[in-house]
A and B are shown apart, each in its own frame.
Chain A
Amino acid sequence: MQAEAKQTDQEVRHAEHSEFVSFTVAGQAFCLKITQIREIRRWSPVTILPHAPADVLGVMNLRGAVIPIYDLSARFGLQQTEASERNVVIVVSVHGKPVGLLAESVSEIISINPDDIQDTPPVDSRNTMEYIQGIISHDDTMVRIINLDAVISAPEQVMP
């Protein structure tokens, strides 16, 4: 029964390519499954949350909902992004809540054959291992697939 389910699953995987949206964060290429993304907005100044950690930029008004905005670059342990109008906020839904992710720019939509996804090779950073689900090669560049659930952990605790 289970084996059967697995097989069908694989058949589907063989048959269907998934679409991913690629974008750059601190000069590196990342991507997210298109179904995870709710919308992409131009960056506009956010309201600072007092006592928030460096990778939480603040909160933004998304049609009446208050959503937190994370600096993906800082989250990945890269340098903090100097947010400007050229940057984008990718609104995703994690743990049932909308969350905004600041990225440098959005590149394109790429179609990925699941078989082409390579496991993240072991690197020295535990965070990187957790945050990156896998990597793919696209137009000779390495695109990193983000593990959204790991990047944005459930109920964020923002404490000093």
Chain B
Amino acid sequence: MSGSIQDTFFEECEELLEATDEGLTAIEGGDHDPEVVNAIFRAVHSIKGGAGAFGLDDLVAFAHRFETVFDEVRSNRLDLDEKLIQLLLRSSDQLSALVEVARDGGEIDEAHNDTLLAALDEYIPEEEEDLTFEPMGLGGPAPMMDLGDLGGAPAEPQEETYRIRFQPLKEMYGTGNEPFFLFQALKDLGELTVTMDENELPGFDAMDMAEAYLAWDLVLVTKETRSKVEAVFEFVEGLCELSINGDGDAEAEANALAALDAMFAAPPAADAAAAPEGEAPAAPFEPPVPAPEPEAKPAAAEEKASAPKAESGKQEQRGGPKPTLRVELERVDRLINAVGELIINHSMLAQQIANLNVSDTRDVETELEGFKNLARDIQEGVMAIRAQPVKPLFQRMARIVREASAATGKTCKLVTEGENTEVDKTVIERLSDPLTHILRNAVDHGVEKPEDREAAGKSKVGEIRLSASHRSGSVCIEIKDDGAGVNRPRVKQIAIEKGLIPENAELTDGEIDNLLFAPGFSTAKEISNLSGRGVGMDVVKNAVTGLGGRINISSAPGKGSTFTIILPLTLAVMDGMVVSVADQTMVVPITSIVETMRGSDDMINSLGADGTLLSIRGNFVPICDVAGALGLYRESDQQAGVYLLVETETGQRCALAVDDIHDQRQVVIKSLDGVCGEIPGVAAATILGDGKIAMILDPESIIAASPTAAAFDTERRMSNAS
């Protein structure tokens, strides 16, 4: 059980860290709204609370300092200057790192941790430094969390009287909370008088055992601050009706009420979601806090409305508590598989009806068409469940850029666009590494040193733009830096030195840029610990092609480089051209096909002993026989008479020769992982309407595997060179 609670904690940590990052980014962008600061404070506090419950001491210690500094900011005792913001950003990174270590195991960079702690300490007033956090045991007695004014007790504590009306709802008992412990906790704060109000208690016969009838009127005389009093009720928020009236001046009260509202405005859905998982008596941490508090602060909302970037997204996120459901990924995947089957099943049915030899199938076909549309609808719906905004990924990338900048002594800022673009979860997961690599490269190799930038008349701060957008059925992710661009003479030199291209090769600019993706290519003069660990951009390229995507680079000397990654929206289905090759039915991804044509003899020209070229409107394109590339042999009377013109990532065109084209349709991708090893030329498999399996081809690797096309490629290079 503790395992599942801990999992929930880490899940919530993700959200909380995201909220922290988001807040800090807003602050960095000049938004010093107190609510933003509060949101961060609460997020960090919740992490601390949960970490304490699980005995994650390092995390607690760090979160505590971090939170304390935030409390100072919150109570306007600290100014958010540039230096502090940078420190907070780094601390937030460290907090993420600590959470990761706590979750996945691993080593904490002690030195870095200590440096940050020391830096944070500088902002914390003396007397607070040895204040330690009391971890709360699960279901332990009083939830005594020192939320609130950790940042320094008021100079002269005054006695104050609070009149508290506390009426638990039955849900409060349902979650195992016990008023007695709350009162005990209050009693620790000062002098407490408890009066029970049993007016609502019905007669014995009418009493429902599960209902809550009792209320209490409490009078507390304490020197503690109001927030400490409120903190006692922190874990029963939403589970009781509570009013706290102090004797303090009206303004303080109004503030406190607003704060209380804010604190208690967490969406009830969060509690509801947590409850069925067999929760501990007292929920060990607060529900995710980046909750909307529209009533509490309309002014701030307006301010946000005028904030420049990612407008609609923010509104959507803060605009109202959308009820959400946390579902195990596995369940969704099962559903996706089932829908995939449904689509296959549909095409099988269609095929069998066509084979029935019934004269009038119109009615059936209409119904079948309806079936197909429904299946598509369901499929899109299910895929949408897996789709997630790229925002968390982009936020992590901001961290990468900060780290890389610090390591190289350059100053770079990451500007993100289209953070709400939704992409399949797996794609997001698998994009993390390639993006990290590209961004590190952009900082390390792309952006120039500050002095060089100034000399070139650019701003000292390098700008890296990371954007995501949907583009006709695919996702486009662009990484654009304003650095020096690809140093083409050097790249070419290195490629020659490493034997990647012949010495006299003449390459276009685009071809040179693409050399960066060649295996074993790394331009760093010495291996820095940042990028260039012997693995290069070829790894990035493999990762992207592994996702069925493509990556391109374009570069302008002195102006910067742009990497464009085009990815399919989903990994489960794709549009393909069904072709036959040597009696086998195969599928070619539609995305790679430029055009298709039926060839005639006069279009085919021989070049050398076995090179053949297809002439298309005056252009000559090498022909690659798919059957030959796959090692399949066709009967002698068959001929590859149909050509699919495809374009490779280097912009090179090639005509894939196949026997025939049948159909263009959506196919369900079935991975061949675990079925067999990697097959050159084959990307995956799919199941066709007749229940047969068809290979999904990878044109790129077919061309590489084809002796003629590959030979022609070198031939052309050589002939160009001479």
Docked complex Cα distance between A132 and B640 (Å): 45
Q: How far is the CB of A84 from chain B (nearest CB, A)?
A: 17
Chain A window 48-77, contacts with chain B (Cβ cutoff 8 Å), 1 for yes, 0 for no:
111110001011110111111000000000
Closest A residue by C-beta to B681: A50
Using Cβ atoms and an 8 Å threshold, which residues of chain B touch A67? 675
Interface check B69, CB cutoff 8 A: no
CB distance A50 to B630 under 8 Å?
yes
Residues of B within 8 Å of A50, CB to CB, are 630-632, 679-682, 695
The answer, yes or no, to whether B641 is at the interface (CB within 8 Å) is: no
Instruction: Give the residue name and chain of the B residue nearest to A64 (CB).
Output: B341
**In the assembly, what is the distance between CA of A61 and CA of B344, in Å?**
11
Q: Are A61 and B631 in contact (CB under 8 A)?
A: no
Q: Does chain A have a CB within 8 A of B85?
A: no
Q: Is A122 an interface residue (CB 8 A)?
A: no
Contacts of A64 in B (CB 8 A): 337, 340-341, 344, 687
The answer to whether B695 and A56 have CB atoms under 8 Å apart is: no
A49 to B676 alpha-carbon distance, docked (Å): 9
Q: Give which listed residue, B632, B677, B679, B693, contacts A66 with CB less than 8 A.
A: B693
- Interface: B709 (CB within 8 A): no
**Neighbouring B residues of A160 by C-beta, 8 Å:** 631, 680
Within 8 A of A (CB), among B665-722: 670, 672, 674-682, 685, 687, 691-695
Q: Residues of B contacting A97 with CB < 8 Å? A: 674-675
When the two chains form their complex, are residues B695 and A47 in contact, meaning their CB atoms are under 8 A apart?
A: yes
**Interface check A159, CB cutoff 8 A:** yes
User: Of B337, B344, B631, B693, which is within 8 A of A47 by CB?
Assistant: B693
Known: A50-B632, A51-B681. 4 other contacts (CB 8 A): A49-B682, A58-B693, A59-B672, A158-B676
Task: Kindly report which residue of chain B lies nearest to residue A60, judged by CB atoms.
Answer: B693
Chain B residues within CB distance 8 Å of chain A: 337, 340-341, 344, 584-585, 630-632, 670, 672, 674-682, 685, 687, 691-695
Chain A residues closer than 8 Å to B672, beta-carbon distance: 59, 66
In the assembled complex, which residues on chain B have CB atoms less than 8 Å from the CB atom of A82? none
Query: For the complex, what is the distance from the CA of A157 to the CA of B672, rounded to whole Å?
Result: 11
Nearest residue (CB) in A for B674 is A97
Give chain B nearest CB distance to A111 CB in angstroms. 34
The answer to the question of A156 belonging to the interface, with a C-beta cut-off of 8 Å to chain B, is: yes
Separation of A155 and B685 alpha carbons in the complex (Å): 17
**A67→B681 CA distance, assembly (Å):** 19
Expressed in whole angstroms, the Cα–Cα distance for A159 and B344 within the complex equals 29
Using CB atoms, name the residue of chain B closest to A159.
B677
Of A51, A60, A63, the residue contacting B631 (CB under 8 A) is A51
CB-CB < 8 A to B341: which residues of A?
Answer: 63-64
Closest beta carbon of chain A to B581's beta carbon, Å: 10
Query: Which A residue's beta carbon lies closest to that of B673?
Result: A155
Q: Which residues of A contact B693 (CB under 8 A)?
A: 46-47, 58-61, 66
Q: Do most interface residues of chain A lie in helix, strand or loop, or is the interface mixed?
A: loop
Check B680–A47 contact: CB distance below 8 A: no
Given contacts A47-B692, A50-B632, A59-B693, contact A68 B675 (CB under 8 A): yes
> Of the candidates A48, A51, A63, A66, which one forms a contact with B675 in the assembled complex, judged by CB atoms under 8 Å apart?
A66
Closest to A56 in B: B676
A159 and B680 alpha carbons, distance in the complex (Å): 8
Listed by A's residue number, 9 A-B pairs whose Cβ atoms lie within 8 Å are A47-B585, A47-B692, A49-B679, A50-B632, A50-B681, A50-B682, A63-B341, A156-B676, A157-B677
- Nearest CB of chain B from residue A41's CB, rounded to whole Å: 12
Q: Is the CB of B680 within 8 A of A48?
A: no
Question: Residues of A contacting B675 with CB < 8 Å?
Answer: 59, 66-68, 97, 156
User: B584's closest neighbor in chain A, by CB?
Assistant: A48
The smallest beta-carbon distance between A155 and chain B, in angstroms, is 7
CB-CB under 8 A from A58, the residues of chain B are: 693
A45 to B692, CA, bound (A): 9
User: Which residues in B have their C-beta under 8 angstroms from that of A51?
Assistant: 630-631, 679-681
CB neighbours (8 Å) of A155 from chain B are 674, 677
Instruction: Report the minimal beta-carbon distance from B532 to chain A, rounded to whole angstroms.
Output: 30
Bound: A51/B678 CA distance, A: 10
Task: Give min CB distance, A152 to chain B, whole Å.
Answer: 12
Q: Are A47 and B677 in contact (CB under 8 A)?
A: no
- Knowing A64-B340, A64-B344, A160-B631 are in contact, say whether A52-B695 is a contact too (CB < 8 A): no
The 4 closest A-B pairs by CB, nearest first: A50-B630, A157-B677, A47-B693, A158-B676
Q: How far is the CA of A50 from the CA of B695 in the complex (A)?
A: 9
Distance (whole angstroms) from the CB of B701 to the closest CB of chain A: 11
Say yes or no: B677 contacts A158, CB within 8 Å: yes
Q: Given A155-B677, A160-B680, check contact A47 B670 (CB 8 Å).
A: no
Q: Which residues of A contact B585 (CB under 8 A)?
A: 47
Closest to B693 in A: A47
B687 touches A61 (CB 8 A): yes
- Identify the interface centre among B630, B692, B693: most chain A CB within 10 Å of its CB: B693
Q: Nearest Cβ in chain A — how far from B504, in angstroms?
A: 32
- Is B674 a contact partner of A59 (Cβ separation < 8 A)? no
B684 to chain A, nearest CB (A): 9
- B337: chain A residues at CB < 8 Å are 64
Q: How far is the CA of A97 from the CA of B670 in the complex (A)?
A: 15
Q: In the bound complex, what is the Cα–Cα distance between A14 and B565 (angstroms)?
A: 64
The distance from the CB of A59 to the nearest CB of chain B, in whole angstroms, is 5
CA distance A68 to B341 in the complex (A): 19
Separation of A102 and B331 alpha carbons in the complex (Å): 34
Inter-chain CA distance A6–B117, complex, in Å, is 57
Known: A50-B630, A51-B631. A61 touches B676 (CB 8 A): no
Encode A131-159 as 1/0 by CB contact (under 8 A) with B: 00000000000000000000000011111
In the bound complex, residues from chain A placing their C-beta under 8 Å from that of B679 are 49-52, 158
Give CA–CA (A156, B676) in the complex, Å. 5
Q: Could you tell me if B632 and A48 are in contact, using CB atoms closer than 8 angstroms?
A: yes
Q: In this complex, what residue of A is CB-closest to B678?
A: A159
A135 to B246, CA, bound (A): 89
Which of A47, A52, A65, A156 touches B584 (beta carbons < 8 Å)? A47
CB distance from B349 to the nearest CB of A (A): 15
Closest to B671 in A: A66
Q: Contact string, A84-97, partner B, CB cutoff 8 A, digits 1/0?
A: 00000000000001
Q: CA–CA, A47 to B630, complex, Å?
A: 13
Alpha-carbon distance A97/B677, docked complex (angstroms)? 14
Q: Which residue of B lies closest to A65 (CB)?
A: B670
Tell me the bound Cα distance from A48 to B676 in angstroms: 12
Question: A46 to chain B: which residues have CB within 8 Å?
Answer: 693
Complex interface: chain B residues within 8 A of A156 (CB): 675-677
Least CB distance from A3 to B in Å reads: 35
The residue among A46, A64, A159 with the most chain B CB atoms within 10 A of its own CB is A64
Min CB distance, B707 to chain A, in Å? 13
CB distance from A24 to the nearest CB of B (A): 26
> How distant is B327 from chain A, measured CB to nearest CB, in Å?
22
The CA of A46 and the CA of B583, in the complex, are separated in Å by 12
Considering the complex, give the chain B residue whose CB is closest to the CB of A68: B675
Q: How far is the CB of A101 from chain B (nearest CB, A)?
A: 14
Closest A residue, CB atoms, query B341: A64
> Which A residue's beta carbon lies closest to that of B629?
A50
Shortest distance in angstroms between B695's beta carbon and chain A's nearest beta carbon? 7
Contact A52 B340 (CB under 8 A): no
Could you tell me the distance between the alpha carbons of A63 and B337 in the complex, rounded to whole angstroms? 11
Closest partner residue, chain A, to B680 (CB atom): A51
Distance of A47 Cα from B672 Cα, bound (Å): 13
When C-beta atoms are compared, the residue in chain A nearest to B670 turns out to be A66
A6 to B344, CA, bound (A): 50
Contacts of B695 in A (CB 8 A): 47, 49-50
Chain A residues whose CB sits within 8 angstroms of the CB of B630 once the complex forms = 50-51
A45 CA / B694 CA spacing, docked (Å): 12
Give the distance in Å from the alpha carbon of A56 to the alpha carbon of B677 in the complex. Answer: 12
The smallest beta-carbon distance between A143 and chain B, in angstroms, is 30
Q: Which of A47, A52, A60, A65 contacts B694 (CB 8 A)?
A: A47
Q: Which residues of chain B are within 8 angstroms of A157 by Cβ–Cβ distance?
A: 676-677
B702 to chain A: closest residue by CB: A50
Q: Which residues of A contact B680 (CB under 8 A)?
A: 50-51, 160
C-alpha gap A51/B631 in the complex (Å): 6
